[in-house]
Structure 1
C-alpha cells in the first residue's frame, strides 16, 4: 500500500507562532516529540538505507572544498556518505522522497515564507525544475565520522537561508555519539541528540554548528536527511563586510543577530575549530594539515589589524563571562 504523507501540512501544524518566534529570535528550533507519524519515519529510514545499500550510485563520500592559494582542493570526510536527490535516477527509486521533491517543496516553501520572518526571501519552487535550482535535498549516512564547526552558508556564492535536518537514527544512546552541536554566536553551546525522528531547523548563515564523532566501535550508523532552502537576499554587503562601527562592545547584540558574525567566528572559536577539524580528518592526516593551513590563513588575515585584534579580545572575554555566569 502506498504511504501518503505531506511534509508541508505537517510543518504547517508544527510551526506555531511561539515556535516561529523562537526560530527567528534564537536562530534555531528543535522538534523532538515525534513530529512525524511512526510509520512515515520508518519508511523514510527504509528509503535512506535502501539508497545507500541498494541503489547503484546512491552512496558518495562527503567532501568539503577549500579555495587555497594554489586553487581548489577537495577533502573527503572519512566515514560520511551522502546522496544528492537532484539525481533523478536515484530519486525516482525512493517514492516518499520523490514525492517531497516533485510535489511538496513548493508548498513547503510557501509555509516557511508565510510563518518565518527570516524566510521571507525564500525563492518559490512550485515545479521540480525550480526546486532543483533553489532547494537542496540530501540523504546522509555517518558510519563513524564527524563534521567540523562550520556555517551551512559561509558566504558567496552560497545562497542558503534555512537548514532543515531530520534525524533517523533508531535506538540512539549517548555512548554512540554523533550529536549535533550548535553555537549561537557568543552564546551557550546547544547539543541535540540525533534521536529517531528529531527535526532541527536553523538559519544557515548565522548558526555555527558541528557533528560530534560517531564512535565506530558501536557499529551504529547515523542516518538523516537535510533540506536547504535558498534565499534571494542572502550574502548582501551588510552580511559580508565588517564595518568600523561593529568593532565596539555596544555592537555585540547586533553581531549576535547578523550574518557578519561569520567574519569573526574563526578567531572567537579558534580552539574549537582546530579540535573539530582533528576529530573530522584524524590526527596527523594530510587532510588535517591542509584544513588547518586554511584555518590559520583566515586567522592571519583577521589578526593583522590591530583594532580588530583588540576587539576580538573583548569578544572572547564577553564569551567567557557568559560561560562563567
Structure 2
C-alpha cells in the first residue's frame, strides 16, 4: 500500500481562530483519491490510507477526545448478547430471551450523536465538524457504486486505557442493522510497534493484515465480511470510528453479482492451467467462502485464537462464563454443519470415491496446502 507524503508538524496555537473546515482543507482524504480507495475496498475488503488528514486537524480531534474523557462523557464499552433458551413462556413452547452484558477491560467510548455531547459542542468544534460534515462518509458515498445504497452514519469516540486492553475477533455486524463500511481513524502520536494495539484484519483466504494505529492512519473495511481484532495495547490509544450504513434498492444484489463476476474473469485462466483435483477442491472452497457459511467457517478456522481473544478482552464475570459456554457449543454446531455441507459436495462428486475433504481436519489441510493456496489467493470474494 503506497504511503502518502508526510505532513509537516505544526502547532495549534492559532486553531481557535480557524474554522475546522479550513484546517482540514488540505486533507489527503478527498475525492481525488476516493475512486482508488473505493476499488480496493470493494475488491480486497479493506483499504489503508496513511496521513489522511492534516496534522493540525488530527491534533485538535485528539485534544477534544481528551476533553470528553476529562468531562466524564465516556462510558465503558460493553457488548449486549441476546440468547434464546431461557425459561419457557407460560402456555407456549417458546423460550424467553436473556441478555448478557459483556464488559471490555479498559475501553471507553461515546457516540457523537448523543444529546449530552451535542450540548457541549462548543468544547468540541472539530469533532462536531467531523460528524456534521460527514467528513469520511461524504467522500465514500461519492465513490462507491450506487447499488450499495449508502445512507447514514454513526461515529464513535473510543479511548483504550492501555494496560493490555483489547478487542476480540469479531465482525462488526451480521448484516441485520444496515452497517456496511467501517472506517477507523487513529490519533496516536509517536506510536511504536512495542506499544501493541495493532488492528489485525483477516481477509481469509489471504494472509492477515496488521495495521499499526499510527497518527493519521485511516483504515476502511467491510463491516459485514471482514473479521478483525485489536491486539492488547500497552499505552493509551485513541480512535475515531465511523460506521457507514446502507439501504439498497430492491434488486441491488444482481448489480453486485455482476460487478464481482466481472472481477472474476481474470482468474479463469489460472484455474484452467491448474491440476484438476486442486481446481475442483478450490471450486468447492470458493462456494463455501462466498456463502453465508463463511463467517461461521472462519470461527472454526481461527477457533483457538478466537477463544483466546475473547478471554483477553473481557472482564471475567458470570455472564462472560455463560457466554463462553455458548461459544464452545457454537463451535461444535458449526463443525457439524460444515461436515454436513462437505458430505453434500462429496455426494455430487461420486460419494465414497470423491477426493473432496470429509472432515474439518481434511478441510484445514487443504487450506494449508501450497498449491491450493495459490489458487485461493486469486479468489475474488464478495465483500459487500
TM-score w.r.t. length of structure 1: 0.80
Is 1:294 the counterpart of 2:326? The answer is yes
From 312, 316, 319, the equivalent of 2:364 is: 316
Q: How far apart are 1:148 and its partner, in Å?
A: 0.3
Partner of 2:153: 135
Is 1:4 the counterpart of 2:20? The answer is yes
Partner of 2:260: none
From 112, 123, 142, the equivalent of 1:85 is: 112
Is 1:195 the counterpart of 2:214? The answer is yes
Gap runs ≥5 in structure 1: 124-133, 239-246
Q: How far apart are 1:202 and its partner, in Å?
A: 0.5
Is 1:100 the counterpart of 2:116? The answer is no
Q: CA 1:76–1:29 in structure 2 vs 1: closer, same or farther (change >3 Å)? A: same
Q: Distance in 2 between matches of 1:259 and 1:47?
A: 41
Judge which range, 61-70 or 175-184, deviates more.
61-70
Q: How far apart are 1:4 and its partner, in Å?
A: 2.5
From 64, 71, 82, the equivalent of 1:67 is: 82
Is 1:266 the counterpart of 2:273? The answer is no
Deviation track 1:296-323 (CA, whole Å, cap 9, x = no partner) reads 2322322333424646445422432369
- The number of residues matched between the two structures is 294
Partner of 1:44: 61
Gap runs ≥5 in structure 2: 1-16, 87-97, 254-279, 343-357, 375-384
Q: How far apart are 1:257 and its partner, in Å?
A: 5.5
Partner of 1:146: 166
Deviation track 1:206-247 (CA, whole Å, cap 9, x = no partner) reads 1000000012xxxx210011000111149x9x9xxxxxxxx9
Q: How far apart are 1:191 and its partner, in Å?
A: 0.4
Over aligned residues, Cα RMSD in angstroms?
A: 3.0
Correspondence 1:223-238 to 2 at 5 A: 223-233=238-248
Q: How far apart are 1:187 and its partner, in Å?
A: 1.8
Is 1:121 the counterpart of 2:139? The answer is no
Contact 1:80/1:141 (<8 A) preserved: yes
SS in 2 for 1:136: strand
Q: How far apart are 1:279 and its partner, in Å?
A: 1.6
Partner of 1:26: 44
TM-score w.r.t. length of structure 2: 0.68
Correspondence 1:229-248 to 2 at 5 A: 229-233=244-248
Q: Distance in 2 between matches of 1:190 and 1:256?
A: 18
